[in-house]
Structure 1
Amino acid sequence: MSTKVAVVTGSNKGIGLSIVKGLCKRFDGVVYLTSRDESRGKAAVENLNAEGLFPEFHLLDIADRKSVERFRDHIKEKYDGIDILINNAGVSGGFISTHYDECKSIININFNSILILEELIFPLVRDNGRILNISSDCGHLSNIRNQYWIEKLSNIDLNMDDIVQFVDWFLQSVKDNTFNKEDLADGATAAAYRVAKVALSAATIVQQRELDKRNISINSMHPGLVRTDMTTGIGFYSADDAAKTPIYLVLDAPASLKGAYIWHDGKVVDWYDYKSDYYFKISTVLDQVPNKD
């Protein structure tokens, strides 16, 4: 019988590290802690070893195709498959910056990387396996205010090319200096991150159609405002608390839960409800900043 394997991307710190920790305690198989920084990744593994937890480590930069290929080859040779894949790696970027190079980098890491993983890693996920894309409240459709893209992304026949066009539209508008802040919610704060995470959530729905034939479930979720380096320590939850729902989704949720967008408390949210207030609000973050007066 083949060894079960769980992989968590971007897991040398924050939510990813807490997910690895939780899986090491509950998952009956091998857990991979991956990181694009080898020294930080190995240090994280050593810290977990000191707690009596023993994940395996592998270098993995999800935005680097060669790195993903090396990881793919390693898994194929050593275990021949994956049972759980949690796509956690990501960057937030600045709240107000719309510099083209920065926006492109944010989208490469948060969205374009999932296309590389879909091509190279998804085929390794075994039948009946589970995939979880860590999205954000920035990833709900209510973040979009441009009517054309609301309708396009809501279309039942949405495909990955449509989603790529959506991302390209945003990047081109930034490059041409024609970006309109009214196209996104909340004055377009964290614009590139919103676009990347909306694209990721939409991609999850498209990916589920393809994965259905192998009875693989793939969902996306908003982990909540978590106290991590990404949020500069601002948030309502610790990383360990935030890891509980992702772990539930890959270990305990019913197999019928597929292609859903899930809130940090485990509630399934209607991703298509673009008139709702699930969108990210910068005031939520600012309210958590300590008053120095």
Structure 2
Amino acid sequence: MTSVAVVTGANQGLGLALVRGLARRLGEEGVVYLTARDRGRGEAAVRLLEGEGLRVRLHLLDVRDEASVEALAETVRTEHGGVDVLISNAAARITPDRPQSEQVREFVDTNNHGTYRMIRAFTPLLNDGARFVVVASSFGSLTNLPTGLHPRFDERSVSPEEIEAAMDEYAALVEAGQAKIKGWPDWINIPSKVAQVAAVRVLARQLGEEAGKRDVLVAAACPGLVDTEASRPWFASMAGALSPDEAAVDVLWLACAPAGSREGHGELVQHRRVLPYRF
């Protein structure tokens, strides 16, 4: 039986490494979609993998565009009927040389609303035994936010739409220079990652017992510090960082968990260990 996998943000860095790993694991019988916003970069990534003897399919995708997400979902639905492995990895970069007020809107629209669009479009397409992994980070623990903000991301009571609304509110506060006054962290990456993990936890809650019955696993994954163009501007040295292929190993361990595995379901997982969302 053909296994179908989709990776977003996959023309470089960790995303490309994840596609490479999936193509190797699934082999000739598998279908792996490498998605990219830019056709030229996507085609270059496909050629690179083909040069390694791997077969993948390119599909253009901009997670900021709902129509683009729906087009990918429709392709998967009509050609395959569903998806077995979905890794939501697309992320906007932030750089230290520009004010965060100039970057927050695109960052939230890509990392948070993009994750939400993928969840909404692809949850109905998850086959029995499917694995849905959202690439986040260890910053996604609720403990990284002031306690007054915890109710905004409490998966036990909030809806996905309320999480997205909270992030829109946060982006507006950053743009207005009011975020710190209102008790939010200075660095936009922290609320964004908490919201991503919260979205995964809400999805696990909504799937409920059905996830176990159908052997569907949803989780967030922190790959650790990865040596990429996006991370280098923030660190004086990348000596301790993983290469994209090294970082992909543990993410793929989660995304390709064997049948019946419930380890990490609804959780944030780093290096095969569950990180506490709250203490």
Secondary structure, aligned partner of 2:230: helix
Per the alignment, residue 199 of structure 2 pairs with: 203
After superposition, where does 1:1-293 map in structure 2 within 5 Å? 1=1, 3-27=2-26, 29-95=30-96, 98-145=99-146, 147-154=147-154, 156-180=156-180, 183-184=183-184, 188=186, 191-212=187-208, 213-214=210-211, 215=214, 216-232=216-232, 234=238, 236-252=241-257, 255-257=261-263, 258-263=265-270, 265-273=271-279
Question: Equivalent pairs: percent with the same residue?
Answer: 30
Unpaired runs of at least 5, structure 1: 274-293
The TM-score, its normalising length taken from structure 2, stands at: 0.87
Residue 97 (structure 1) shift: 5.2
1:237-276 deviations in Å (ceiling 9; x for gaps): 101100001110011366212101111x211111113xxx
The AA in structure 2 aligned to 1:69 is E
The AA in structure 1 aligned to 2:190 is R
Secondary structure, aligned partner of 1:166: helix
Residue 229 (structure 1) shift: 1.5
Residue 155 (structure 1) shift: 6.1
How far apart are the structure 2 equivalents of 1:230 and 1:39?
20
The TM-score, its normalising length taken from structure 1, stands at: 0.84
For the aligned residue pairs, the C-alpha RMSD in angstroms reads 2.1
1:129-188 deviations in Å (ceiling 9; x for gaps): 11000001232223212x221244346323324322431331232243322178355xx2
The AA in structure 1 aligned to 2:21 is G
How far apart are the structure 1 equivalents of 2:30 and 2:105?
37
How far apart are the structure 2 equivalents of 1:82 and 1:155?
25
Secondary structure, aligned partner of 2:58: strand
1:97-156 deviations in Å (ceiling 9; x for gaps): 5554521110000000122112222211112211000001232223212x2212443463
Residue 100 of structure 2 contacts residue 188 of structure 2 at CA under 8 Å; is this kept in 1? no
How far apart are the structure 2 equivalents of 1:18 and 1:25?
11
1:5-62 deviations in Å (ceiling 9; x for gaps): 0111111110111111111111252111111111111111111111111111111111
How far apart are the structure 1 equivalents of 2:75 and 2:25?
24
Unpaired runs of at least 5, structure 2: none
Q: 1:243 to 1:181 in 2, by over 3 A?
A: farther
Residue 136 of structure 1 contacts residue 224 of structure 1 at CA under 8 Å; is this kept in 2? yes
Secondary structure, aligned partner of 1:219: strand
How far apart are the structure 1 equivalents of 2:92 and 2:197?
16
Moved over 6 A (4+): none
Residue 133 of structure 1 contacts residue 219 of structure 1 at CA under 8 Å; is this kept in 2? yes
Q: 1:182 to 1:222 in 2, by over 3 A?
A: farther
Residue 23 of structure 2 contacts residue 54 of structure 2 at CA under 8 Å; is this kept in 1? yes
Residue 98 of structure 1 contacts residue 192 of structure 1 at CA under 8 Å; is this kept in 2? no
How far apart are the structure 1 equivalents of 2:197 and 2:169?
17
The AA in structure 2 aligned to 1:204 is V
Residue 154 of structure 1 contacts residue 272 of structure 1 at CA under 8 Å; is this kept in 2? no
